[in-house]
Amino acid sequence: MLVNELIQKTEQSKLQFEYPYTLSKQEIAKLDAVIRQNGLPPPEEMIDLPPGGLKLISFKIFDAHNSLLFYYPSPVSNADLDYTFPFQSASGQHYRIATFSTPPSPFLSKLFKRAASIQAGLLVLATLLLSLTLTWLITKPLIQLGELGRRYLKLEKYDQEPLKLLARRDEIGALGREIAHLIKTVEEQKQKKQEILNDMLHEIRTPLSRLRMATSLFEQDPTSELDEFLVRIYQEFERMETLTQQILEQSRVEAAEIQSEFLDVNKFLRELLRDVQFEFQQASIDASFPDTPQIITATNRELLRRATENLLRNACKYSPRHESVFVGITNHDFYIRICIDNAGKGISTQDIEKLMTPFYRLSISRFESGFGLGLDIAKRAIEFNNGRLTLEKSSRGGLLTKLDLPAISPNYTPAFSTRQQRDERTGHESITADFRKADNLR
Ligand SMILES: Nc1ncnc2c1ncn2[C@@H]1O[C@H](COP(=O)(O)OP(=O)(O)OP(=O)(O)O)[C@@H](O)[C@H]1O
Ligand SMILES: [Mg+2]
């Protein structure tokens, strides 16, 4: 209700209004206009108007005879509000409007104070809740991140990822993923280093044991051909050098960068069998190769040698005396298969599944020296060459090992350059090709 209407109604009905009466924003604006017309300071200077809020202003309206028509005591105490100004109604009557500061009523003032304190309490509570939520949202994941780091420092196995934390889409999630990635990379590098060390120590034992064999054979028969033993000793030292160099290179060269080569598997296996036979003098190795002079496969010679040598040595080592070890090569459409079969006392299927696990050995093999790493090394070396190693129960009670390697048909003309070369020291012949350009290889 506007002041104008208020007066109009007062004029018409001569009624006194019930109060307290709350002025609307509009009414305040009207009152403001009235105050301005009368050259008084605007209400915002007189009273502290909250933006858009309602304001209670204490005021009285007197008629021309100075009798009180309307009285509204505001519960809000507004200081310096004692202004009086004349006002003429639409009917031409003269009035006087007086705004004034009222001492607030004790009840209302208490009510307002209580409301204010409740408001303040709620504010404190909201702030507390907000800070608790923020703490929960930020501190908890940070603690989890710290936990990750601590676990890693304590060298505990990093097996369980805090999935919830890593799935977060905010910066903390991103930081968590970075840390998890970092830890994984470090873990992998650590594992790789251990593997390299194991491989190196393991593989170096083979030429060493052949060296021992050479010297003991010579010891047994000093009249035998010295040259033959010297060649063997020279070859084994060569082998050790190649091995250490190759294993060290493997640690810094990415798989894609290692150059592959074509090789004649028949020739390759024959050379290898000579070495294995030298170490296992008593073993009877029965090899059957196809007549075709070359079965060509694209692989890395050193890794293939490492794998095949371990498998052949196992077959000789675990084969019962007087039982032959069979080695065969079969040519298939897309792969060549090397089969190695030895007799034995029987191996269970469950055992076969575990044989490729590092350090796993069958109890019946405890009398033979070994670490249980040969098959793991062979498997990794073959997989590195895109091949596959399968272990099966042999019908002769031992192990049947199948080594499949991707083959290239002898008639295949590669659409990329190849280079034939001979290593003067080892006498190995190889054809080197750049496979990075050869998309049509297989
Ligand atoms: N040809 C095989 N015939 C029978 N058992 C085998 C054969 N090859 C492997 N095994 C069994 O699998 C186990 C693991 O073989 P692996 O070559 O990994 O290790 P290892 O020969 O014991 O030791 P090394 O680390 O010296 O190779 C052997 O201990 C043996 O019990
Ligand atoms: Mg072995």
pLDDT of 250: 67
End of a domain among 64, 89, 104? 104
Mark whether 302 and 409 lie in a shared domain: yes
> What are the two backbone dihedrals, phi and then psi, of residue 159, each rounded to the nearest 5 degrees?
-115, -30
Residue 220 lies in a domain: no
Mark whether 186 and 88 lie in a shared domain: no
pLDDT of 286: 94
Residue 355 CB less than 6 A away from ligand 1: yes
Return the SS3 of 437. helix
Query: Are 389 and 402 contacting, i.e. CB atoms less than 8 angstroms apart?
Result: yes
Residue 154 lies in a domain: yes
**What residues have CB less than 8 Å from 279, skipping those under 6 apart?**
206, 209, 210, 213, 313, 316
Residue 202 CB less than 6 A away from ligand 1: yes
Residue in 198, 312, 375, 379 to alter for ligand 1 test, most ligand atoms within 8 A of Cβ: 375
Residue 186 lies in a domain: yes
**CB-hemisphere CA count at 13 Å for 48?**
4
Q: Which residues surround ligand 2, an ion (CB under 5 A)?
A: 314, 374
Residue 332 lies in a domain: yes
Residue 379 CB less than 6 A away from ligand 1: no
End of a domain among 54, 87, 104? 104
Q: What is the edge-to-edge ordering of all strands in the sheet holding 68-72?
A: 68-72, 59-63, 94-99, 83-88
Query: Are 46 and 83 contacting, i.e. CB atoms less than 8 angstroms apart?
Result: yes
Mark whether 163 and 81 lie in a shared domain: no
Mark whether 290 and 428 lie in a shared domain: yes
Residue 203 lies in a domain: no
Mark whether 270 and 419 lie in a shared domain: yes
Residue 240 lies in a domain: no
pLDDT of 436: 40
Tens of each residue's pLDDT in the chain, 442 residues: 456 666 666 666 554 444 445 556 676 666 666 666 665 555 444 444 444 434 456 677 788 888 877 776 665 555 555 777 777 777 778 888 777 765 555 666 677 678 778 888 999 999 999 988 888 877 877 887 777 777 666 655 555 666 777 788 888 788 888 887 888 888 888 888 888 888 888 888 899 999 999 988 888 888 877 888 888 899 899 888 888 877 777 666 554 455 667 778 888 999 999 999 999 999 999 999 887 755 556 567 888 898 999 999 999 999 998 999 999 998 887 788 999 999 999 999 999 999 999 889 998 888 888 889 999 999 988 888 788 999 999 999 999 999 998 876 544 444 444 455 666 666 665 555 444 433 333 3
Residue 382 lies in a domain: yes
Partnered with residue 429 across adjacent β-strands are 422
Mark whether 267 and 411 lie in a shared domain: yes
Mark whether 60 and 160 lie in a shared domain: no
Return the SS3 of 399. strand
* Mode of pairing for the β-strands spanning 94-99 and 83-88: antiparallel
How far is Cα 278 from Cα 287, in angstroms, rounded to an integer? 15
Residue 373 CB less than 6 A away from ligand 1: yes
Domain boundaries, position 17: 3-104
CATH number, domain containing residue 143: 1.10.8
Look-up of token digits 């006194």: 16
Mark whether 30 and 70 lie in a shared domain: yes
Residue 307 CB less than 6 A away from ligand 1: no
Q: Which two tokens stand for residue 100?
A: 């004034």
Mark whether 367 and 406 lie in a shared domain: yes
Residue nearest to atom 10 of ligand 1 (CA): 314
Closest CA to 404 of 393, 419, 389: 389
Q: Which two tokens stand for residue 204?
A: 């170096």
Q: Which two tokens stand for residue 127?
A: 């702030």
Atom of ligand 1 at shortest range from CA of 371? 25
Mark whether 137 and 100 lie in a shared domain: no
Mark whether 331 and 184 lie in a shared domain: no
Mark whether 355 and 402 lie in a shared domain: yes
How far is Cα 44 from Cα 50, in angstroms, rounded to an integer? 9
Number of domains in the chain: 3
**What residues have CB less than 8 Å from 15, skipping those under 6 apart?**
9
> What are the two backbone dihedrals, phi and then psi, of residue 169, each rounded to the nearest 5 degrees?
-95, 0
Residue 318 CB less than 6 A away from ligand 1: yes
